């Protein structure tokens, strides 16, 4: 029988791989954002020094936009690629690196569909958030259920425990 205390069993049993997975994802994502961050930083400083921070030229705005885009593209790409790493660690009992590789390779076969799916889930969640936070009580469980169904659709359902 399942109890409320079983809710966090995945974290209790797989804490180290889950923690390492999260840390590696954050570090890789931050490293991928460095080129865009450098462009944004240099542009912001140069605009602040040359114009006293009051006006922005078209070229400055375009450079800032390019830097932000260079930061957003790797964030979106890596987030979509590794979106199922954590469930793979808990469900399939994989080590963090194997889970990240499996998520990356499997999602890579239909990356755009997964990206659109995540955008739709995010929009549903934001709609619930905009309804005075009360809608989150409906949209958060709905978003999590959709996420888990997508995981099971891609990686197969978890086998039922034998009695």
What one-character-per-residue DSSP string does 96-157 give? HHHHHHHHHHHHHTTHHHHHHHHHHHHHHHHHHHHTTTTTHHHHHHHHHHHHHHHHHHHH-P
pLDDT (0 to 100) of residue 52: 55
**Full pLDDT tens readout for the chain, 163 residues:** 778 877 777 777 889 999 999 999 999 999 999 999 999 999 888 877 665 555 667 888 888 899 999 999 999 999 999 999 999 998 899 999 999 999 999 999 999 999 999 999 999 888 888 887 777 888 888 888 999 999 999 998 776 666 5
Model pTM score: 0.81
Phi-psi bin for 94: left (phi > 0), alpha (psi -120 to 50), beta? beta
pLDDT (0 to 100) of residue 124: 87
pLDDT (0 to 100) of residue 49: 66
pLDDT (0 to 100) of residue 140: 86
pLDDT (0 to 100) of residue 47: 76
pLDDT (0 to 100) of residue 39: 92
pLDDT (0 to 100) of residue 12: 78
Please check whether residue 10 is in contact with residue 90, taking contact to mean a CB–CB distance below 8 angstroms.
yes
């Amino acid at each position: 029988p399942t109890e409320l205390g079983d809710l966090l069993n995945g974290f209790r049993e797989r804490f180290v791989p889950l923690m390492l997975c999260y840390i590696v994802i954050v570090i890789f994502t931050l490293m991928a954002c460095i080129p865009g961050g450098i462009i944004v930083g240099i542009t912001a400083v140069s605009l602040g020094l040359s114009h006293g921070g009051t006006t922005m030229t078209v070229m400055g705005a375009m450079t800032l936009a390019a830097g932000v885009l260079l930061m957003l593209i790797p964030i979106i790409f890596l987030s979509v690629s590794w979106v199922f790493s954590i469930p793979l660690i808990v469900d399939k009992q994989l080590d963090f690196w194997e889970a990240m590789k499996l998520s990356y390779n499997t999602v890579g076969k239909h990356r755009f569909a997964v990206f659109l799916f995540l955008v739709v889930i995010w929009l549903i969640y934001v709609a619930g958030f905009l309804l005075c936070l009360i809608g989150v009580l409906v949209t958060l469980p709905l978003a999590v259920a959709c996420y888990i169904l997508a995981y099971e659709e891609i990686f197969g359902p978890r086998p039922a425990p034998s009695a």
